[in-house]
Chain A
Amino acid sequence: MSNLSESKYRGYEADRSKYPRMENGKPVIDLESHMYTKLWQGPQHPGVTGNMAVELIVNGDEIVDAKTHMGYLHRAFEKLMERRRYIQCFPLVCRICVPEPDTNEYCVSAAMEDLAGIQVPERALWLRTLNLEMSRIGSYLMWLGGQAGSLGMGAIGQWTIGMRDFWLDLFEEMTGGRVYHMYMIPGGVRKTLPEGFRDRARELIVTTRKLLYDVENTFLSNAIIKSRLQGLGVISPEMVDEYGIVGPNARASGMEHDIRINNPYVKYGELDVKMLTSTVGDAYARAELRYRDLHQSLDLVTEILNRIPQDGPIQADMPNLLNWKIPAGQTYVKAESTRGEHGFYMVSDGSDKPRRVFARGASYTHAISVLEELAVNISISDLAGLMVSLHTCPPEIER
């Protein structure tokens, strides 16, 4: 572990005498002692990611215990899918994660295809890859705005979320939907690329890169940001397995794991995806890694645009999807979202409705176990930054 994890960049020295007594690895907090204050951050609070809440016990402005509360966005997707036919599940799942809906669409379609033994045509696979990679860009841009905003830098959010809007315009052209694309239908995709799409996408990539240059100057090479993020929320390599940490959070701690490379899906096997890792494991390392990943995504989109076949079918030969019955079986399909391993576990009992679908949200552990662990001993003002740096997304946790 680097020296960054030590508190010299933290800006304050913790007074250990005020810490609660530990018993069996748990702090013993006596709220009656007037040493500690209970605070709720969220759900109605500008400093939480989405609609969730963190129950904090603070000592001064230092957090001594944190507890995450979920369920504000629980819509029971899994229950609803049990009473919907397979094709009817497909508009539902993209709602599981708002900034990056396409991963859900891909996973649920791929799970059905895996169980039913359907081969998706080449061109549809390329279009899916494009869609997935573009949605990663959108999600990263949104995260970048959130990360900067959580540290009080509103301008970055203005830029990147504004830029994301132009990516949404591209999505709109491609899929017909702005935020919820509902593009990957079981067996393939719904539309081909419209006229002139490639040129507009290439132009946008150039503009995005220009913007990222500014972001790098103002955000990543910013002394204040560095001093706040470096050493914040350090994830040690041991924690990664212990807590099931995935995605950039794990890679920033040295774990060489990217599903796009390790278990390639769609067309990632034919693309040159590089393993981006860092060894530091703090919030700054994660931010920097995501920033590099965003650049890589732009590279990949450029490459995909060049390689998408111009013609060919975009949907496999499918039966009547209204009466589609999938043979009994179980499968688990996963994809690398911007937050890490996003998977769908699907159980079919041979009927026209799934028996059970489980969506493993990438930030399932990040927002609860990991956040509760990392939030201890930091200042309240850093909590928002920590949450965003873990890139938590509540709807995919409670579904």
Chain B
Amino acid sequence: MEQLVKRINGMIHLKAYNRQRDDLFFITVEKSQLELVLSHLKNNEGFTHLAFLQAVDFLEDSKFQLTYMLYNYDIRVNLGVKVLIARDKAEMTSIHKLWAHAWQYQRELHELFGINFPGSPRVEESFVLEGWEEMPPMRRDFDTKEYSERTFYQRPGRSTNDPKEYMKEKMYKNYAASPRIRRDDE
């Protein structure tokens, strides 16, 4: 595996490399070099199986991380290729020409994350949603609970008690809160 990393590093600049398990490695590459790396891995290094392509939303850094999980049947190793792309107007090159089923993931990502893959077949078609009007739901700033409460009728009549507050109410109601620090201006 180290040799493989060296070979790829000779080809392009690897941003990061880490080993999670004996049979699972991750490399991080530049967005522009992804296609090159993937086709090299597929055609020359034997990583012929694309297990999945998925996105992770790093809202705080305003980045999407795309992970292309490859598998090599000969050395029996999974290799995750990570790419960070901008979250705003997210767009990524399509790899449907490398793997015939990649369009499925790209279509899913387009719908659930709002990442565009120009040129990918049927990418505009909806995958699991129908008549969806909100922002792509898998983005982290979409609050599913709030949406659910707003849209679907929750059965009313439920209320709960916090043991802490309830015991205070019942046992030491008059034990008032801490005195505030009193200052000159008061």
Contacts and interface: CB of A to CB of B under 8 A. Distances in A.
Interface of A: 70-71, 74, 76, 78-80, 82-83, 114, 241-244, 246, 255-257, 262-263, 329-332, 334, 341, 343, 345, 347, 355-356, 358, 360, 364-365, 368-370, 398
Given A243-B100, A330-B67, A332-B80, 20 more contacts: A70-B127, A71-B126, A76-B138, A76-B144, A79-B138, A79-B144, A83-B144, A241-B49, A244-B51, A244-B99, A256-B73, A262-B73, A330-B20, A341-B51, A343-B51, A343-B69, A345-B69, A347-B65, A356-B56, A360-B69
Contacts of B52: 343, 345, 358, 360, 364
A78 B138 contact: yes
22 contacts: A70-B128, A71-B129, A74-B129, A79-B137, A241-B48, A241-B49, A241-B99, A242-B100, A243-B99, A244-B50, A332-B24, A334-B51, A341-B51, A343-B69, A345-B54, A347-B65, A356-B54, A356-B57, A360-B51, A364-B52, A365-B104, A369-B101
A358 B104 contact: no
B35 interface: no
A369 B100 contact: yes
B57 A262 contact: no
- For chain B, what secondary structure do more than half of its interface residues adopt (helix, strand, loop), or is it mixed? mixed
Contact of B69 (A78, A80, A255, A332): A332
Size range of the chain B interface in the assembly:
35 or more
A71 B56 contact: no
A260 B80 CA distance: 21
A348 B89 CA distance: 25
Contacts of A398: 127-128
A370 B103 CA distance: 12
- For chain A, what secondary structure do more than half of its interface residues adopt (helix, strand, loop), or is it mixed? mixed
Contact of A347 (B49, B56, B69, B73): B56
A83 B146 CA distance: 12
A395 B154 CA distance: 24
Interface of B: 20-21, 23-24, 26, 48-52, 54, 56-57, 65, 67, 69, 73, 76, 78, 80, 82, 99-101, 103-104, 126-130, 137-138, 140, 142, 144-145
A242 B80 contact: no
Contacts of A244: 49-51, 99, 101
B140 to A, nearest CB: 7
Contacts of B144: 76, 79-80, 83
Nearest to B139: A79
Contact of B127 (A71, A330, A365): A71
B20 A364 contact: no
B58 to A, nearest CB: 8
A82 B140 contact: yes
A370 B99 CA distance: 12
A263 B56 CA distance: 26
A242 B23 contact: no
